[in-house]
A and B are shown apart, each in its own frame.
Chain A
Amino acid sequence: MKKPTCDDVADLIDLYAAHECEPAQEKAVRAHLAACADCRRALDESRQMMGLLDVHFSQEAALSRLGARLKAEKRPGRKAAPRVLAIHRFAAVAAMLLVTFGLGVLLLPTGDLRESISLQVALAPRAKPDLDVPGGHDVAHESKASRNDKQAAKDKPLELAKGKAIDLAKEFARGALPPRADVELKVTNPGRTAIELDLGAPEFRCELDLRDPAKVVSREVKNPAYVPFHRSKLKIAPGETKPLRLERLASQVGERVTYLYVKEEGEYELRVRLVVTAWRDGSRQTLRLTAGPMKLPLP
């Protein structure tokens, strides 16, 4: 595409904001925007509009999520239980990760945080077609799949478990396997005090390092809205284990976020890094937990 003028960019700006430009157009618009403040303002307006449309169309679902969180809240007016979070207790014990599949694990605590937190990590690709990632589908496969097959696949979630054989190539051909990998985590608190973890999305980082790029499809994140991680706070009592599911595993390399998902069957090296921020009375400390590398024996 030749160098676009401001008029050209004005015609494309909404599609650009909606991540719907062709790659060549996108590149040209991006280059223009880098040098044109007026068009950047137009882009900001367009993004505001996209945001308002998201709010408009997702309001019902968002209110329903809020309602669920309100119900899960302690009833206001009751005296809250004393906060037993004791971050300094993190300084007590070396941390440990337990990873399913019996694979090697590495934990990298930062600072003097030494309270024991253990994680069990299991890769669990799941079919959740109702949470499709825009741009995340393997279009080539999808075009081959009949809608009936896809509907049937929607009704039958896939679960990958140790020892369970799934023909991934076949599932991909049916368009059944979601174009992403979710990760199941279990956070166990083997200490003697309760802990509170803040797992909000901005603090959360998960890396998937698949060593065989030929068998992996990656896509850049076009819209970070699709890096959801809803649970923001988690209280874990001593000895308690809480499950977490991190949807749409993303890899962050430098400042670039990429979705990676397994395209073909095989063995992969998987590395998961989770940044857990723990809060106490307004101050926070961070543990960086790394699980892996581990062999992921896909059938």
Chain B
Amino acid sequence: MDSQQQRDLVARAGRGDAEAFSALAARYYRPVAAFLLRRVSRPDVVEDLVQETFLEAYRSLGDGARPENFSSWLFGIASNRAGKWLRRKKPVLFDPDAPPTTPSTPSDLDARAELEEQQHRLAALDAGLAALPDDLRELLRMKHHRGLTCEQIAAELARPVGTIKSLLSRTYKLLRERLAPAGSDPS
């Protein structure tokens, strides 16, 4: 999507064209999700925050907002959403015995750098996934798309649970190694 196409889509979305906005959402969904994931460190709330981000953007365009740079503007909204979520009082919905995870503290937003960083991470993930044999990719799909446990996957594939766990563990390790350079401190 070049910048002219993007401007056209933004203008159409501003006139209430939900399909045009959906095209923008399809383009930016993953970078925004990855950005929010980095900020809040809670995979379970990321989808809600992403959806709220895009809905707020859609509403703002409808209210007359005409951002010069759509991606910077969108990441700004996402950053505000993340900040709001981190500040809000919320019930703890995880095992109290689990070790604490400290959400990253929002810093000043550099949207372009954020977009690049998230695209880098996602590209590394895509490359890692593409390099996997089909059966391991399918294993990840069963786990992360269908939400199956190793026991359920083992039953479905008629393989021992230990084998599934071992395959999954190796696959994660491979992917994590791919992601590690992007996940390290850029400084």
Contact = CB atoms under 8 A, between A and B. Distances in A.
Contacts of A14: 168-169, 172-173, 176
A246 to B, nearest CB: 14
Interface of A: 11-12, 14-15, 18, 20, 30, 33-34, 40, 43-59, 62-63, 65-67, 69-71, 73-78, 132-135, 137, 139, 142-143, 200-203, 205, 220-227, 232, 252, 254-257
Contact of A55 (B34, B97, B169): B34
Contacts, number: 201
A65 B98 CA distance: 31
Contacts of B98: 30
Contacts of B47: 58, 62, 65
Contacts of B85: 202
B5 interface: no
Interface size class of B (residues with CB under 8 A): 35 or more
A76 B95 contact: no
Interface string B8-19: 000001111010
20 contacts: A11-B169, A14-B168, A20-B165, A30-B97, A40-B99, A44-B41, A44-B101, A52-B34, A53-B144, A55-B34, A56-B129, A63-B22, A70-B25, A70-B55, A74-B62, A77-B64, A78-B16, A134-B152, A254-B96, A256-B95
> Chain A contact residues: over half helix, strand or loop, or mixed?
helix
Question: Which of A56, A202, A223, A225 neighbours the largest number of chain B CB atoms within 10 Å of its CB?
Answer: A56
Contacts of B168: 14-15, 18, 20
A252 B91 contact: yes
B169 A15 contact: yes
A45 B183 contact: yes
B46 A51 contact: yes
A59 B30 contact: yes
B93 A18 contact: no
> Chain B contact residues: over half helix, strand or loop, or mixed?
helix
A132 B147 contact: yes
Contacts of B150: 20
Contacts of A257: 93-94
Contacts of A203: 90
A295 B29 CA distance: 45
A45 B180 CA distance: 8
A52 B125 contact: yes
B45 A201 contact: yes
A143 B180 CA distance: 39
A191 to B, nearest CB: 27
Question: Which of B22, B30, B43, B143 neighbours the largest number of chain A CB atoms within 10 Å of its CB?
Answer: B43
Given A48-B179, A55-B33, A70-B21, 9 more contacts: A14-B173, A51-B46, A57-B140, A62-B33, A63-B25, A63-B26, A132-B147, A202-B45, A227-B93
Contacts of A252: 91, 93
A30 B47 CA distance: 27
A175 to B, nearest CB: 11
Nearest to B122: A52
A78 B14 CA distance: 10
B93 A224 contact: yes
Question: Which of A30, A34, A134 neighbours the largest number of chain B CB atoms within 10 Å of its CB?
Answer: A134
B109 interface: no
A22 to B, nearest CB: 9
B151 A139 contact: yes
Question: Which of B33, B50, B126 neighbours the largest number of chain A CB atoms within 10 Å of its CB?
Answer: B33
Contacts of A223: 43-44
Given A48-B38, A143-B155, A224-B93, A134 B44 contact: no
A71 B18 contact: yes
Contact of B149 (A12, A55, A135): A135
Nearest to B100: A40
